[in-house]
A and B are shown apart, each in its own frame.
Chain A
Amino acid sequence: MSSITSISALDVPRIKSDFPVFEELFGGRELAYLDSANSSQKPRQVLEGITEFYEHSYANVHRAVYELGERATAGYEGAREKTRAFLGADSTREIIFTRNGTEAINLVAHAWGLSELGPGDVVVSTVLEHHSNFVPWQYVAKRTGAEFAVIGADDNGELDLEQLDAIAGRGRVRIVAFGLISNSIGTVNPVEALVGWAREHGAVTVVDGCQAAPHRSLDVGSLGVDFLALTGHKMLAPSGIGVLWGRQALLNSMEPFNLGGEMIRSVTIEESTWNELPNKFEAGTPPIAQAYGLGLAIDYLTGIGLERIEAHEHDLTTYAMESLADAEGVSVLGPPAERRGGIVSFTLDSAHPHDVAQILDSHGVAVRAGHHCTQPAMDHFGIPATTRASFYLYNTRTDVDRLVEALADVRATFA
């Protein structure tokens, strides 16, 4: 955990001025955008950079022999190098561009899971997972005859590691799938313990980094995981671009996922052979400008500094939890601020989350209401849905104050 005192505070007004969306008024007020865990807003540097790329450097990649094509390839591959450095990976061969985080996980589930798993094997996910790192494993286990096991959680929404022994007793543990940070309640999961346990059993770890990569510095080497998935749209980049990082030996041993152009070495009527990494897993024309945009987003984030962003969000989260603790009728789910990301999920005694979100919207406060694609986690808490506020580099304590004020209006409406 980084120390807040040694890190200089973010200049939020200046950061905000990079985001055109904050120039528009919502409900007559500046937007209090508290839904970045769902998708982030985009800064000018990304938006204008993509437009410029389309205007001056766009063609298909890897095949055009004219200058424009070379510029496009340089832009696309440049983004791969930026992503490699961002994740501390050894080689750009380990950086696979996908459509989003969901596709990155599905790639592993299909290309590794379907051919490696079978009866007697145990595929492990957690009760806190986003459906994208839960449903593919449930499905692949069913398809292959492997057993699907789920690590439960305690009342705080923290994984119950005491269940690990019992899970290991059910067979040969092959996959351990978990997120770095829970998207619905914000829990920071114990990576070290889970990776250690997985290694002990020779299992492969498939880690959802979608809620962590935009907000804190990640290094795949020190995390010790085998696969890491992330998505661009939650980290200031456009939608339509995701990343799968994987260990080269594993990626090399895997069957392809999507088949077609670009991913082949040669094709004859009799058979086809596969291209080298990363092309083997990038069939068809990739999301070129979106990848380029991800590179620009990484430039923007690293220019500010992930440690500073993390510290800023930690301050907002702590402040929000203190403010909501005093707000009447509000129950916050999940662990204390020290063990969570910039996500605060809560219920209100008198109103359904959808009604809460609707009334907050009329105050210019944007939050997410629903099960957040984590139905098993909602079932764990015995509730159908929550209202979720999530923070990013452009949020302020004023946004939190406005949330709390608007919640008082919700309560008054439903009193």
Chain B
Amino acid sequence: MNLPAATDAPPDPAVAEFEAIYRANVAGITAFFARRCGEPQAVADLTSETFVQAIGSLGSFDPRRGSARAWLFGIARHVYASHCARAANGNHAIAALAGHRELEHDEIEELASRIDDQLAGRELLARVSRLPEIERVALELVELAGLAPREAARALDVSPAALRVRLFRARTRLRKEEEPS
């Protein structure tokens, strides 16, 4: 990949502002997709798509209504749902993504390692696969992604009270499944 030539121009404040959001959250968003996809190219493209959509909706982001992290995870969830719907319809899901970019060999290795790192997360998701989707993701965002319940509620577009109920149910069901019969 050809990187743009370095210049002495001062950084654009708006770009620097979004870069701070990107740098603080890209690892978490990548891990979110690494728990769902075994292919580095898919993880990369879904991560890229999330940030492309975030840039497109930057004007509607209001930090008073929730953190950037909650906002990005909400976008990531929709990106993944759309990706699954396209795949279910037989479309070439990855190539259709606006954020598609062919990975270099070293990036493939790096993302393959990250996918391996999410083994425990994938196992947790498999254990709760029978739960409703919103309870599964609520548990994941709080237990694995480290979001506060209020942030997870924002990402899932439910009230904090509803999120607590979902979390409580998910944890209770998980405990019951772990108890010896």
User: Is chain B a partner of chain A in the same complex?
Assistant: no
Q: Which residues of A contact B (CB under 8 A)?
A: none
Residues in chain B within 8 A of chain A (CB atoms): none
